[in-house]
Amino acid sequence: MTKTVFKVEGMMCGNCEAHVNEAVKAAVKTKSVSSSRTDGETVVLSSSPFDPEIVKAAIEKAGYKVKSYEVSEEEKKGFFSKSK
């Protein structure tokens, strides 16, 4: 699972969060997308890696500013996963 966190400026309300989420979903295939105006970020979870520049362009086309992004691989944790 790939987790990409975008630092986004310009989200002022819940509608802005929804607008960013819709832009991301239209740009790439995702497992989930969550935006927070309070944290100033959008978190994208996907089954496979994607080009973050495509999502950055989609967010900026929607009228918001992407300051940065960070990509990491998340270990899939299920109900029956073993803990160390």
Residue 79 lies in a domain: no
- Domain containing residue 11: CATH number: 3.30.70.100
Which tens digits make up the pLDDT trace of 58-70? 999 999 999 999 9
Residue 61 lies in a domain: yes
For the record, the structure tokens of 24 come out as: 């991301």
CA distance 60 to 30: 18
This prediction has a pTM of 0.86
Which tens digits make up the pLDDT trace of 20-55? 999 999 999 999 999 999 999 999 999 999 999 999
Residue 84 lies in a domain: no
Residue 82 lies in a domain: no
Other CB atoms within 10 A of residue 4 CB = 22
Number of domains in the chain: 1
CA distance 84 to 37: 35
CA distance 4 to 40: 14
Range of the domain at 16: 2-73
